[in-house]
Chain A
């Protein structure tokens, strides 16, 4: 027997990417034409929730006029002994996913920005009431998140009521965000680890803290907490912080132990807030790379979507290559965009004061989190395309890193280019000086010599570039 007996349309993962165009839609709920709309999850006391109840305040779908847009609020109230208000956001985000499983029902965005459409086809099949939607949501939430013991769903379409609850919801989102943003690594006992990426980066363990998002940008500390309690056997697990060994670099005994255990001893020490020494490992799906530029003693940042080459002449793919695969690479650091918004961002290295170059697109996205006095001093691709241009820009704008240059005498060691090997002329005679024979003070006399080689391999000799800090 199907889980969705009695639902007039099909329910399945395959409908997730379905888009419903205006001409195919029966009604639209929320969306750009409607000012007030929302979806909200609240954790309640068990006695306040009637499991399986679906209520509708206002008109139901069948009472709506074809082709019109209506306001909508979706309120999901849940109860269960292990549920905490911190999990509200995580549960709420599943509304999007589960609504989209319903054939002919499209859900976009979240929170106060929701946009839903019901297709004519599915309406004709009989999907004409929120009761059905509510039932599907109830079944999926209960089946997927066993920590939810009771759940009731309310659909609100009465414009007055939506308006009233909308304002309330906005305050709840704001409070939630403030709490999330304000939560510090120091204030929690547990971090969360994720080993999802070990299948391609066997020595990578993501350490997710309130102030350090997962490298992929997809898992916050709250998400980690939810995932670990929902699926204790899954790839996300709690890490006991243990002893704080270095508050600036971000070294915790518990993190070190976990890293050692989960990487079979490959990684023994992790410093969370720096790109040097024992930086956090990089997987393969990080959103960006912070890369050290020795010539200016600062960091450049490049993100996945940046198509051009970075200021140091390398594209994202090469820079990503320098750090990916679960390694700790001095000066190359895979990061999430959200981490750039954290006060702990490269804390030990000087944070934003050490950042000298960043693509414009990312700069715009994180602008509010860059100290105001630095915003104009960090170059983008519009300001500098080469290291020389970058140096000039930083000097001109008086970036704090310029002070550093005076303090340290930076000996920039240029790699000695190996002598370019010219393609040999096809003729039989080649002048002897090109022969790789070194003769320290001796005279070499070769007479009637014949040298045969099956293969000669010419390798460029590179001098090691020292990475400075």
Chain B
């Protein structure tokens, strides 16, 4: 229990203990403390509390800037040209400006999650009460909020307790955003340190959002056997009225499911979702369906399947109201953050709103009450379906061929396409009646429709692609395991040893958006490859959906082929974007539960542990948003490297280690206090890979940690070398950097590698008890 701003006033009291008159007590905050662990060194860290740690990381993983834009136009001094060694009118140079923009992006991302969390917590407190317990896994999850405990030093037990952590996040966020104002921070490294800070508080915000919704809505609680739910365009029953929910904040979708249940309408109406709201509805009701990642928005709406489109917040196409209008589907906005210019009908009677929407009197409404929105959505869907007759804007084949004739082959579409798809060629073929080339574009199309806006002839290119691929699209029927939430404490105990010793070669998390270079299939292929290699594979968000969009020869999807356990060879979907801290939480819990490191407000030590011992890597193959940027930065500060796809270079900088600089790769041996060279493990903290193949080799490589035992290192090296040989056709050049003693060499490659070591003039080193923090060197007792 915690309470803020408590005031007591006693006018007069006479009793055994004495007389009290006009007593006033004012208490800023009452905290009832049941947590026995003593407070650690850094509760509620401020902007600079963890600066030393950040600088240690940045010393090793130096920012490498990739200016996406050479000028700064944020104030009226500008535009300022920052190329070369120039400084702008305010004095800022290019590197500081780039990191400033990164900070701005991370503030936007963190604000989005924290705002989301605040809204959820307020809403759920109103519905379930402040004292509703935080319970995300019963006795199996005693460390219920590892990130919040680690960062804030508090142990939230009720929904009301979560507010204290949110207060902190909002406070920090305000400071962080203020730093991007003209004439503040001047050092790029200080900007970078603040980027890490933004990422860390973002992790707290996300964790709180998910804890609140799991606890209140009864989502799967750390359940490895969370139900398998249906995924894909083809999984949606078009014979029924269809409600499409888009976004991230689930209460309106819950309103729909509850209304259906209360009125005995389950099974009569199809409820489906896109993006994270889809994950969260299926966590509430496994009969709901997931259409796919955000890139399915246009193709699904234009196909005319949804009878009502209801949106909440984040990552929603901002023209989705226009798209809904094109297919005559009534539209409901439900978030204060996304009102779409619509009239606020929150206080109108549902009957009136339903009538206006069904008759088409208004194209859409704003309803800020999730229950009312749920009722309206269901009633409108049922009534409007026969009227609109699944009206669609996807043309027929004849239209495609006819309209394609207007194409001038000007190539503007291709230049506008983020993935450089050969649209003009496909158009040419279409004119000749061959839609196959258009069909081929479908898999790598991210559904942005920039091609349509670039076209001087206004050809609806995206519609053509969708038509050509219609058969394929309608056959999309897959399974994904509903988001399971946290990892159980017992699971951590089981795998803690093998992970820390290196025998489970790594934990790979596929997270983030769907801005893929070559389609989501690459995610499924990577996921399968690493599960087969007995890594622990974790997924979340849109990547979790893409991971499921694959079938083997028996028609089974990855989630059906592999178990949902946090164990070697498991594939686990933790849930939506805000579930990402369960992945960070697993790394934290390995340090705290398994290795008994103190957790409470002890960020630096735990991050040092994770960096040096826990072979975890994040992969955001289609990272698109500012949220993805802040999620990644939360992982960096914790010592978890992140790999992004080629579009990720637009985040403006990488954090790259220099394997050739031996001096960068020393740690203290906590047993002796000596400095020991440990090789570039992990080599990078933030890396953009151009191809799937490059990413896979890098994943295997970045799983290596100084603490690996010889057996563990041999296993990790085997995967690295094997993937390198298979995908690049040659042995890696840098094997000698990862061999500490001969016992590290994989048994089956001994002869070959020993020859390489000899050539490289390799020398044996020791395997230390690694740390970057001198204070952790153990004192010998006599």
Contact = CB atoms under 8 A, between A and B. Distances in A.
Nearest to A218: B497
A455 B718 contact: no
Contacts of B613: 199-200
Given A423-B3, A428-B7, A429-B9, A200 B748 contact: no
A432 B715 contact: no
A308 B140 CA distance: 9
Contacts of A459: 33
Nearest to A423: B1
A284 B595 contact: yes
Contacts of B715: 13
B17 interface: yes
B24 interface: yes
Interface in B476-535: 489-490, 493-494, 496-497, 500-501, 532-534
A443 B20 contact: no
A284 B497 contact: yes
Contact of B20 (A1, A266, A446): A446
B595 A432 contact: no
A231 B743 contact: yes
Contact of B595 (A325, A424, A444): A325
Nearest to B717: A13
B778 A449 contact: no
Interface string B739-773: 00101001111111000000000000000010000
- Of listed B20, B719, B746, residue having the most chain A CB within 10 A: B20
B743 A317 contact: no
A454 interface: yes
A437 B568 CA distance: 57
Interface SS majority for chain A? loop
5 contacts: A12-B746, A284-B493, A315-B140, A421-B1, A439-B18
A98 B778 CA distance: 39
A140 B745 CA distance: 13
A104 to B, nearest CB: 14
A448 B12 CA distance: 10
A443 B18 contact: yes
Interface string A1-31: 1111000000111101100000000000000
A202 B769 contact: yes
Interface string A346-364: 0000000000000000000
Contacts of A325: 595-596
A321 interface: yes
Using C-beta atoms within 8 Å of the partner chain, give the interface range for chain A: 35 or more
Contact of A433 (B8, B15, B32, B714): B15
Contacts of A466: none
Among B493, B709, B749, the most chain A Cβ lie within 10 Å of the Cβ of: B493
Given A2-B752, A429-B8, A429-B9, A423 B34 contact: no
A264 interface: yes
A144 interface: yes
Contacts of A386: none
Given A199-B500, A264-B778, A446 B23 contact: yes
Contact of B28 (A14, A143, A437, A455): A455
Interface string B1-28: 1010011111101010111111111111
A450 B8 CA distance: 10
A3 B752 CA distance: 7
A436 B392 CA distance: 70
Contacts of B21: 445-448
B31 interface: yes
Contacts, number: 215
A307 interface: yes
A104 B615 CA distance: 28
Interface of A: 1-4, 11-14, 16-17, 101, 140, 143-144, 196-202, 216, 231, 233-235, 264-266, 284-285, 304, 307-309, 315-318, 320-321, 324-327, 421, 423-424, 428-433, 435, 437, 439, 442-460
Contact of B748 (A101, A304, A429, A439): A101
B607 to A, nearest CB: 16
Nearest to B500: A200
Contact of A450 (B24, B32, B741, B778): B24
A438 B497 CA distance: 51
B200 to A, nearest CB: 23
A4 B8 CA distance: 82
B594 interface: yes
B131 interface: yes
A13 B779 CA distance: 39
Nearest to B3: A424
Given A447-B19, A447-B20, 13 more contacts: A14-B533, A200-B613, A202-B670, A202-B778, A216-B497, A266-B781, A430-B10, A443-B17, A444-B17, A447-B22, A449-B23, A450-B24, A458-B30
A200 B497 contact: yes
Contacts of B497: 197, 200, 216, 284-285
A249 B740 CA distance: 41
B255 interface: no
B142 interface: yes
Given A143-B750, A451-B25, A317 B30 contact: no
A199 B503 CA distance: 13
B593 interface: yes
Interface in B658-709: 670-671, 707, 709
Given A264-B780, A284-B594, A443-B18, A14 B719 contact: yes
Main secondary structure of the interface of B (DSSP, over half): mixed
Contacts of A140: 747-748
Contact of B6 (A199, A424, A445): A424
Interface in B715-731: 715, 718-719, 722
Contacts of A447: 19-22
B493 A445 contact: no
Nearest to A308: B139
B576 interface: no
B496 A284 contact: yes
A-B pairs with lowest CB-CB distance, top 8: A325-B596, A265-B781, A200-B595, A444-B18, A317-B489, A285-B497, A13-B718, A443-B18
B782 interface: yes
B29 interface: yes
Contact of B142 (A197, A317, A433): A317
A437 to B, nearest CB: 7
B596 A304 contact: no
Nearest to A144: B747
B569 interface: yes
A452 B5 CA distance: 10
A199 B31 contact: no
A33 B769 CA distance: 49
A402 to B, nearest CB: 30
Contacts of B782: 265
B463 interface: no
B215 interface: no
Contacts of B568: 17
B557 interface: no
Contacts of A304: 490, 493-494
Nearest to B11: A429
B142 A430 contact: no
A28 B92 CA distance: 71
A198 to B, nearest CB: 7
B490 A316 contact: yes
B390 to A, nearest CB: 43
Contact of A429 (B10, B18, B781): B10
B32 A285 contact: no
A284 B15 CA distance: 56
Contacts of A428: 7-9
Contact of A451 (B3, B24, B594): B24
Contact of A317 (B6, B8, B493): B493
A17 to B, nearest CB: 5
B29 A456 contact: yes
Contacts of B579: none
B560 to A, nearest CB: 15
A315 B29 CA distance: 33
